[in-house]
Amino acid sequence: SIFNSIGRLFWGGLTDKLGGYNTLVIVYLFTCVCMLLLLFFNGNTSVFYFSALGVGFAYAGILVIFPGLTSQNFGMRNQGLNYGFMYFGFAVGAVIAP
């Protein structure tokens, strides 16, 4: 949870500089690298911990970026409802493919 908190600050600042879509690409690439390291860690605990912390760090970026992208794409009129639908889809995806 410490890396998740740090990640929210980091990715939020990066989103302000690069924009939501560009930062989201970086978040997903970072997540892919961490997941691939998890796949091939072969009992190396330091790589395992680095990857697990990296995934938590990247997960924070998704939660920071999505509300801004939702309002950017759909407007502020129904922001709460639209973000609720987006987050529901995010939760369903997490259940189907954790």
pLDDT per position as a tens digit, 25-78: 999 999 999 999 988 887 889 999 999 899 999 989 988 998 888 898 888 888
| Residue whose tokens read 């760090």 | 57
| Residue whose tokens read 């410490």 | 2
Residues 37, 51, 23, 63: is their CA dihedral positive or negative? positive
For the chain, how many structural domains are there in total? 1
Neighbours of 53 (CB within 10 A): 16
The pLDDT of residue 16: 94
pTM value is 0.82
Neighbours of 51 (CB within 10 A): 21
Q: The domain containing residue 14 runs over which residues?
A: 2-96
